[in-house]
Amino acid sequence: MMRLRKGLLIWTIPAAIGAGIAVMAAVLILRKPEARPVQEEKAVPVRTRILAARRVADTVRLPGLLEPSTETGLSVEQAGRITALSADKGDRVEAGQTLLRLDSRTWEAMLRRAEVELREAEKDYVRYEELSRTGAVSQSDLDRVRQRRDLAQAARDEAAVYVERCTVRTPLEGVVDARPVEVGEFVREGQPVFTVVATDSMTLAVDVPERDIGAVRPGMALPCVISALNDRAVTGTVSFVAARAGSGNNAYRVEADLRNTDGALKGGMIADVTLVRRILDGAIVIPLAAVVPQRGEHVAFCVEEGRAVRRVVRIDEIMGHEAVIGAGLKAGDALVVEGQRGLADGMAVTE
């Protein structure tokens, strides 16, 4: 009897343990899983701009150089010693003003002698002409006296020219830019003595590349900025377009006339020239910074219903800090102009 109870006890314990495990498993199966907290999507802050088609000028910026529109070098026409100088470097001179005189005493004496000889010759010719009417002198005698008068007149004119060559005058109004001689110096024929630069107008010279020369024509406006004059803006008028490109840079020299009424523009100043190549109507123009390079493509992001939309765009022109878009964007799009660097397609965004 005792042995039977022991066996029954041995078999009862494992059965109870198995039943307990089954009950626990049933409880775990029936228990509901705990609800996890839903993580909200964080919107990326951006700034947008509504695109609109507009008329825009396709321009290119080129370096230019200011040059005097007229510059003349004055030299003496004959040798002599300088007796007077009436202008120095930096002086403003008027057209026809005397700048230099040479010692002209010898030539003036020759002129006076020639004038005396001419007066005598003219008297003889008048007397012989009266006599020829009465037949008192022959025609050959009259011709000889006429020839003497003509030669005396030629000698007088020649002496007057030599006297005139002792004076150097400026043919234009402007400023004396150079005067390499001094009073008392002996100068030879043809020696430079003055350089006079016209200042009422200047020439803007710019080398235009071959690809852009088709946009240049005489008479067109050519605006520029002079940095040396606190970014002063001036506009010239194209007066010359070279017919052949330079051999060194394959660019065409273009010249434009600039008014210089206050004399502030000076030769050698650098100009930042803006050349309008063409006018684009109905163009979509966006900030160049709004374009994001991605795997060989140009990408821009727009906002639609609070989310970023990735657009692949085609850039037709780059104008400074702006890009002309040929495809991928249209008027009315809300273009992301700030915050686009960290965006991906479909991201939530907020203004």
Predicted pLDDT of residue 314: 93
Name the nearest CA neighbour of 232 among 240, 222, 224, 242: 224
CATH of domain 61-69+198-278: 2.40.30.170
Identify the DSSP state of 318. Answer: E
Helix 105-134 crosses helix 139-164 at what angle (to 10 degrees)?
A: 160
Count CB-CB contacts under 10 A for residue 226: 21
Fold designation for 47-56+280-350: 2.40.420
CA dist 177 → 52, 66, 91, 99, 103 (Å): 54, 16, 8, 13, 24
Instruction: Name the region of 90 (left: φ>0; alpha: ψ -120 to 50; beta: rest).
Output: left
- Per-residue confidence (pLDDT) for residue 6, from 0 to 100: 47
**For residues 90 and 194, what is the distance between their CA atoms, to the nearest angstrom?**
11
Tell me the H-state helices in 53-172. 105-134, 139-164
Q: Which CATH architecture has domain 108-156?
A: Orthogonal Bundle (1.10)
Residue 72: per-residue pLDDT: 93
Q: CA-to-CA distance for 197 and 194, rounded, in angstroms?
A: 10
Look up tokens 């100043």; give the residue.
Answer: 269
Residue 216 is encoded by which pair of tokens?
């240049």
Which residues lie closer than 8 Å to 215 by C-beta, 6 or more apart?
Answer: 275, 276, 277, 278
In sequence order, the 6+-apart residues with CB closer than 8 A to the CB of 237 are: 219, 220, 221, 222, 256, 257
* CATH architecture of the domain with residue range 75-103+166-197: Beta Barrel (2.40)
pLDDT means per 10 residues, the chain with 351 residues, are: 45 48 49 57 89 86 93 95 95 94 95 94 91 86 91 95 96 93 96 94 95 93 94 95 89 95 91 90 90 90 92 87 90 90 88 83
Quote the pLDDT of residue 279: 84
Can you give the pLDDT at residue 37? 56
Q: What is the pLDDT of residue 34?
A: 58
pLDDT of residue 31: 56
* C-alpha 135 chain-centroid distance: 81
Q: Are 256 and 204 in contact (CB under 8 A)?
A: yes
Q: What gap in Å lies between CA 309 and CA 328, rounded to an integer?
A: 11
pTM above 0.85, yes or no: no
Domain boundaries, the chain: 47-56+280-350, 61-69+198-278, 75-103+166-197, 108-156
Q: What pLDDT does residue 39 have?
A: 60
How far apart are alpha carbons 285 and 333 in whole angstroms?
A: 12
Instruction: Identify the CA nearest to 100 among candidates 79, 76, 78.
Output: 76
